[in-house]
Structure 1
């Protein structure tokens, strides 16, 4: 168990990669990341994002933006505001799912945008959470957002569990990794806490940080509140060497770490 904290997402992610690289097993349980400002990026932060994105794509993995968009569709928000997120994106994803064998593609965003209640009526969990934030900003801890299976039955209570037993119980791998999102209000700022059941730190985590930061930006911007910190609990964290078709070696990770460290050293010198 380790707590890693810092100002920006790329900085904290890089420190987490170093920590896991230093562990003999390259893994740990309950690795907690606390990012004070998950949205703003310095020039060095952007350079680290660009280097990491090039590394992943160069080794057969998806881009950071692809990972981030599965959590929150920023491009649809920038183009269509609330309606882009609440209506246009789900409609587009519905057409994509209709022609894909993998119906779970992009499911994180869809899990927070489309559910069915006990009466079979489709509702939008993110929309209702946002409306609750706007209606009751004086409450600090009343805004939970689980990620149950899209358009399936909602369990009792306000929480929607991401783990769907009927679908996920026999999967040793490949099930949803993001388990729960908890939104808090503190002194006029929106805070976000995310729990992951399993986390691949090279192939997924920086993209996840970006996507969660976009979700936090959306909630803060739409409510007129400030942007608070992002906290991530990786209940199992692993420094991975890619999974098919992606692949890299620990020596490649070491080269990336050194190059990213150089970006922050240059920024410090310039300051």
Structure 2
């Protein structure tokens, strides 16, 4: 059995961080790291990532980007938190992988900017168990 990713036309989250649809010159990740490296100490500052836009992401129940918003919060002591907002979040099939990837993203940003990783905070507007009750019972057994 061959695993095939079906990303549709919206791409990947990383692509949206470094080359936003319709604005390929916009590299949000590079901009945030640059600000963290060049701004004077700014404890309490927040830097924002946008991963969706009404221009290219029409309302849909499934099949589009679920991670919509990210924010780096710069705390005293050069500690960075990453806050993310998901519109839909499948806690059975995807959440663990999402959390690992987001943790790696936070670690990368901190390593590139000389900061210390803090907390990963995730707000899921609609969290659901995509695996079903039977699958959860089998996993817990």
Q: Using structure 2 for the length normalisation, give the TM-score.
A: 0.83
Identify which of 45, 57, 80 aligns with 1:190.
80
Cα deviation for residue 102 of structure 1 reads: 3.3
Cα deviation for residue 236 of structure 1 reads: 0.9
The corresponding residue for 1:103 is 9
How many angstroms apart in 1 are the aligned matches of 2:99 and 2:92?
12
SS in 1 for 2:126: strand
Q: Which runs of 5+ in 1 are unaligned?
A: 1-59, 67-99, 148-161, 242-248, 259-271
Cα distance per residue 1:121-147 (max 9 Å; x no partner): 713111011000111262222311111
Give the paired residue count: 138
Equivalent pair of 1:137/1:185 in contact (CA under 8 Å) = no
How many angstroms apart in 2 are the aligned matches of 1:225 and 1:101?
32
Cα distance per residue 1:12-56 (max 9 Å; x no partner): xxxxxxxxxxxxxxxxxxxxxxxxxxxxxxxxxxxxxxxxxxxxx
How many angstroms apart in 1 are the aligned matches of 2:91 and 2:111?
28
Q: Higher relative contact order at CA 8 Å, sep ≥6: structure 1 or structure 2?
A: 1
Pair 1:136 & 2:39 matched: yes
Pair 1:115 & 2:5 matched: no
What stretches of structure 1 move > 3 A for 4+ residues in a row?
100-103
Select the structure that is richer in helix.
Answer: 1
Equivalent pair of 1:163/1:176 in contact (CA under 8 Å) = no
Cα deviation for residue 101 of structure 1 reads: 9.0
Q: Which has the larger radius of gyration?
A: 1
Identify which of 49, 57, 63 aligns with 1:145.
49
Cα deviation for residue 217 of structure 1 reads: 0.4
Q: Using structure 1 for the length normalisation, give the TM-score.
A: 0.46
Cα distance per residue 1:66-111 (max 9 Å; x no partner): 9xxxxxxxxxxxxxxxxxxxxxxxxxxxxxxxxx993334x21100
The corresponding residue for 1:23 is none
How many angstroms apart in 2 are the aligned matches of 1:137 and 1:206?
35
Q: Which runs of 5+ in 2 are unaligned?
A: none
Select the structure that is richer in strand.
Answer: 2
Equivalent pair of 2:21/2:56 in contact (CA under 8 Å) = no
How many angstroms apart in 2 are the aligned matches of 1:257 and 1:102?
33
